[in-house]
Homo-oligomer: A and B are copies of this chain.
């Protein structure tokens, strides 16, 4: 039950600082690259280990996209996300005041709500246009 004592190493401090300073929801590899100038011996494994820790501690959120690399968010205030399905970029959007919770499964205890809008950002919209948009001629039923 007692969580192991934590040590504040330079790596840990820098990872947390960098994540908090970042506005672009960096991936683990992004953070690794950004920190390497300052911490030349840093390893990617350490980045992953510390990110996991931060997430477990509630200090960061892990954002997972379909297939893509996980991105991390170090901002505490509740907000939602807009993700471009073409370039993968994730932007913050202000949280709507949500009226109430839906009919959840019996006994389910909600801890966090994760709301994401997926679509095309302005740049990709111009470049790829209407692509693979919901439309099909594949299935018999529905």
Residues of A bordering B, CB below 8 Å: 3, 6, 16, 20, 53-59, 62-67, 70, 76, 80, 82, 84-85, 91, 93-96, 98-123, 125, 132-139, 141-142
Minimal beta-carbon separation of A12 from chain B (angstroms): 8
Contact among B95, B119, B122 with A112 in the assembled complex (CB-CB below 8 Å): B119
Query: Given the known A-B contacts A64-B66, A104-B93, A115-B114, are A58 and B121 also in contact in the complex, defined by CB atoms under 8 Å?
Result: no
Contact B96 A108 (CB under 8 A): no
Contact among B65, B70, B104, B121 with A82 in the assembled complex (CB-CB below 8 Å): B104
Contact among B56, B100, B105 with A132 in the assembled complex (CB-CB below 8 Å): B56
Contact among B59, B62, B138 with A136 in the assembled complex (CB-CB below 8 Å): B59
Copies in the complex: 2
Contact among B95, B107, B111, B116 with A85 in the assembled complex (CB-CB below 8 Å): B111
Minimal beta-carbon separation of A82 from chain B (angstroms): 5
A65 proximity list for chain B (CB < 8 A): 64
Minimal beta-carbon separation of A14 from chain B (angstroms): 13
Residue in chain B with minimal CB distance to A12 = B138
